[in-house]
Amino acid sequence: MSRIVLRNLVKSYPGGDRRATDEISLEVADGEFVVLVGPSGCGKTTLLRMVAGLETPDSGSVHIGDTDVTSLSARDRRVSMVFQSYAIFPHMKVRQNIGFGLMMRKVPRPEIDRRVADAAAMLDLSDYLDRFPSQLSGGQRQRVAVARAIVVDAGVLLMDEPLSNLDALLRLQFRAELKRIVHQIGTTTLYVTHDQAEAMSLGDRVAVMRDGRVAQIGGPLEVYDSPADRFVGSFLGAPPMNFFPALVSDGPALSVGALSIPAPSSLARFAGRTVLVGVRAEKLAVSTDAADGFLPATVEVVEPTGASVLLTVRLGDHELKVQAPPTFDTRPEASVWLRADPSTMRFYDPETSLALTV
Amino acid sequence: MRRFALQVFCVAISLFMAAPIYLITLAAFSSRESLNEFPLPLVPTDPSTETLSGFLSSTGVIAGGVNSLMVGLNTVVLALLIGLPAGYAVARYAFRGRQPYQLFLLLTRALPIVVLSVPLARIFLTTGLYDTTYAVTLLHTALALPTTVLITAAVFVAVSPEQEEAAQIFGASPVQAFVRIVMPQALPGIAAAAVFTFVMSWNEVLGAAILTLNQRTLPAQVLSTLSFSPLAYRFAGGFALVVPALLFIAIMRKYLLNMWGTTLK
Ligand SMILES: Nc1ncnc2c1ncn2[C@@H]1O[C@H](COP(=O)(O)OP(=O)(O)OP(=O)(O)O)[C@@H](O)[C@H]1O
Ligand SMILES: [Mg+2]
């Protein structure tokens, strides 16, 4: 019913020297949860505002359901939205804020009360219903904005960084809560964040944006495991994906400096060329002893994180992040040996940074 | 210590503002004879309404008061009617020449009222508006508009556009969004603009005196009879001029204060 189809959306702001969104096409299936993630200024909010009807695209179209809503005003699109700046109404109590959408849609009073109470309970706001926003903390205000958005039954839910102002613990808690709520109401959702962990955990699909374009869209594991380009690999995941250049030699094998490591056989057709190898920190096996097919590296930083030890090591001229088991015993300046399973390695064109199909 | 200094400061300011008002009130409620005593007592010794009633019953005073009230209220309404949308536009839309426009608004106040009034009188004479309260209302509206626009623009800027957008997303029309979201938050500023306008209109005398002959506003009436009236009349006139303005401010006071959040329960 309420799928979203965006076609070639272009938007540039007056005075902006480049496009805020550049020919973005995107489809969100009915009931699907798609997360837009990307660095600051990449056009996430702009895209969301065009779907909401708050911004008119220079060209391209927005469809919600089977209707072309490109020229429809915001109130006629039946969308709901959490603003990045909350945009809750300071002169109304929390109760009126949450119930605003229902009141405007002329929902009967008892039903408004019931639904407001439900939404407030979901977001831990029941004790604050009779307060003014100025008497709430930043995180509480943000939750009011979320409650106001989920309480109406809109076909499409747009959320612009709705958890950004919560502390780490609350954010984790509400992330799960939000996932449950949205799943429950089953609304088609576009969700913006610049927190890659949030993106991975919430999205049915994740769209990674950069400079007004969608760099890659796919399931969370797909974009995490097989980034379409170097940017996606370094943006998603903490720590970011490791990249280092290697020469493909006959065999096929990869020459890193003077050393050689096995490569997937499909790489044979790139023989003689230099490729960029991408490998995730947790996919690098690390050992204190030399062994065949292992590359020697020097430990630079050791960061225990509890569940694992994060090592920064130097391999030739390149710094790599390695996730070692928590019991792994090493110290700076020590030598370690690394090995990557050929199947976990991804390969990129050093010039274009795009993934090579191997 | 700083608190104490602040309190002293506040008291001093209040005294400075209140002293003349008190003296005028005192004089207005003294009898004609006691005004000639020397030195004047600083507390009411012989309160009497004789002076005031004498003033009120002299020709043109009641009518002038009514005229002043009408002109003041009409000016407030008219200035808000024109000034609010203008202030909103200045606050919300980036149009070509917005900065010069704001500056230009203020510059209009640099024109002396007398310079304005004479050509206006000519225009009003030919259009038949001369010597009516409408003429004075129009002049006062013109005088009040710059401040109305600038004050309301300042309050509209303080209400984030996202709030209006949010209201529209949740089903409000642009007008509803303005009335339900922007207006309530802008009320203190609008009240301030209204007070400013009313007091300005109530006190403005030059233009009113030039544009009317019979339909005098109170200050114009007082001014025209001032030179040949007794001392008591002047005090009573002063009192009558101050009190309504104070009353108007007192009525608007509750809108002037922040109505939500922490300042008021
Ligand atoms: N009202 C505006 N006028 C001019 N330029 C704008 C405006 N809003 C956004 N931009 C520009 O458009 C680009 C995209 O902005 P947008 O707000 O969509 O970024 P974002 O991805 O939401 O970033 P963030 O994560 O920081 O919120 C930015 O380069 C920004 O400077
Ligand atoms: Mg944003």
Domains, in order of start, for chain A:
4-235 (3.40.50.300), 242-348 (2.40.50.140)
Contact B209, B216 (CB under 8 A): yes
Instruction: Dump pLDDT digits (tens) for B43-59.
Output: 777 777 887 887 888 77
Percent of chain B residues past pLDDT 70, beyond the cut: 95
Residue B207 sits in the same domain as residue B238: yes
Give the distance, in angstroms, between the CA of residue B196 and the centroid of all CA atoms in the same chain: 4
Measure the CA–CA gap between A346 and A243, rounded to whole angstroms: 9
- Which of the four pLDDT bands, split at 50, 70 and 90, describes residue B256? low
Which pLDDT does position B259 carry in this prediction?
Answer: 45
| Mean pLDDT of all residues in B121-138 | 91
- Does any domain span residue B6? yes
Measure the CA–CA gap between B265 and A175, rounded to whole angstroms: 35
Pocket of ligand 1 (CB under 6 A): A 13, 15-16, 20, 38, 40-46, 84, 194
| Residue after which a domain boundary falls, among B48, B67, B87 | B48
Which residue from B minimizes the CA distance to A134?
B261
User: Model ipTM?
Assistant: 0.86
Handedness of CA A170, A171, A176, A182 (dihedral sign): positive
Which pLDDT does position B244 carry in this prediction?
Answer: 80
In the reported structure, the alpha carbon of residue A148 is separated from the centroid of ligand 2 by a whole-number distance in angstroms of 19
Residue B39 sits in the same domain as residue B143: no
Percent of chain B residues past pLDDT 90, beyond the cut: 32
Select the highest-mean-pLDDT range: A155-159, B26-30, B256-260.
Answer: A155-159
Instruction: Inform me whether the pLDDT recorded for A190 exceeds 60.
Output: yes
In the reported structure, the alpha carbon of residue B221 is separated from the centroid of ligand 1 by a whole-number distance in angstroms of 60
Which pLDDT does position B223 carry in this prediction?
Answer: 82
Higher pLDDT, B60 or A334: A334
Instruction: Inform me whether the pLDDT recorded for B263 exceeds 60.
Output: no
Which pLDDT does position B71 carry in this prediction?
Answer: 94
Higher pLDDT, A68 or A294: A68
Instruction: Inform me whether the pLDDT recorded for B35 exceeds 80.
Output: no
**Domain count across chain B:** 2
Atom of ligand 1 nearest to the CA of A42: 21
Inspect the interface and report whether the beta carbons of B166 and A83 lie closer than 8 Å. yes
Residue B32 sits in the same domain as residue B67: no
Residue B182 sits in the same domain as residue B252: yes
Q: Which residues of A282-307 are buried (b: 16+ CB within 10 A; e: fewer)?
A: ebbbbeeeeeeebbebebeebeeeee
Residue-range definition of the domain harbouring residue B11: 1-48
Which residue from A minimizes the CA distance to B173?
A75
Contact A90, A144 (CB under 8 A): no
- Which of the four pLDDT bands, split at 50, 70 and 90, describes residue B84? very high
- Does any domain span residue B212? yes
Question: Which residue, among A100, A108, A77, has the nearest Cα to A147 in the 3D structure?
Answer: A100
- Does any domain span residue B178? yes
Percent of chain A residues past pLDDT 90, beyond the cut: 70
Which pLDDT does position B260 carry in this prediction?
Answer: 41
Instruction: Inform me whether the pLDDT recorded for B136 exceeds 90.
Output: yes
Residue B86 sits in the same domain as residue B10: no
When mean pLDDT is compared across A38-42, A118-122, A267-271, A322-326, the lowest value belongs to: A267-271
Which pLDDT does position A316 carry in this prediction?
Answer: 83
- Does any domain span residue B255? yes
Which pLDDT does position B50 carry in this prediction?
Answer: 80
- Does any domain span residue B125? yes
CATH code of residue B105: 1.10.3720.10
Inspect the interface and report whether the beta carbons of A88 and B165 lie closer than 8 Å. no
Which pLDDT does position B264 carry in this prediction?
Answer: 35
Residue B22 sits in the same domain as residue B147: no
In the reported structure, the alpha carbon of residue A11 is separated from the centroid of ligand 2 by a whole-number distance in angstroms of 15
- Does any domain span residue B53? no
